[in-house]
Amino acid sequence: MKKYATLLTLMFCAFVYAQNHEFTAPDYAVIEKNVKDKKSAFYFDKLFERYNRADSTMTLEERRHLYYGYSFQEEYAPYGRAEEQNKLQEILQKEKAEKEDFEKIIEYTDDILKQYPFSLRIKEYRIYSFRELDKDAEAEKESVQATIIIDAILSSGDGTEKETCFYVINTLNEYEILNLLGFDFGGKQSLIDGEYDYLTLAENPYQLEGFYFNVSRCLESFKF
């Protein structure tokens, strides 16, 4: 089961290096207005339906409205944890997985994604499991959805400074993006200026000390 650890990095390394480095922080006021407007092309329900269909034709702005716009939906709960997480972890701890295990992974992650549909790690487990079950079409769908999420987050910044931080709507995505880019967590996390998470990095060839993540939407939700 250890193959899970590097799957996303291998799948998307070409994408990461292809970034044009023109970053734009999300304008939450504009996004909130658009995703709540049924007449808007960015109305959330329309975008989410396309996401569920794994519509690869979604523009970058549509992907950004989908991801960041989710934080304005009633079901948004950035600090929630699905009960199926414990069951999933039991399977992932196995040295060798059988067909029934991969089927259970799909079952459990189905329920987990109902609570938070944009977890890259969960998408990773599903891609791998579907491939092990010879369900390539389903794996490809998960891959397209993962790319939509990644596009949105990586368009917001490069994480090296507060001014060019990554914007995320769930702290789970912090560690997922860190691993996606090929880095290991250095073990220290701190909240800076009341809206930035700073994660240290383990020793790496680029001599980067850490990444900044704007978690203002998570904290706003937590206040209520």
Q: For position 222, what pLDDT does the model report?
A: 63
> pLDDT tens digit string along 136-150?
999 999 999 999 999
| Both tokens assigned to 140 | 């490809």
Crossing angle between the packed helical segments 136-154 and 171-180, to the nearest 10 degrees: 100
Q: What whole-number percentage of the chain has pLDDT above 90? A: 79
The mean pLDDT value for 52-67 works out to: 97
1-5, 99-103, 182-186 — which is least confidently predicted? 1-5
* DSSP symbol at 54: T
pTM of the predicted protein model: 0.91
Of 84, 124, 123, 118, which is closest to residue 104 (Cα–Cα)? Answer: 84
Of 143, 154, 165, which is closest to residue 210 (Cα–Cα)? Answer: 165
Answer yes or no: are the C-beta atoms of 104 and 91 closer than 8 Å.
yes
Q: For position 70, what pLDDT does the model report?
A: 98
Predicted confidence band at 82 (pLDDT cuts at 50, 70, 90)? confident
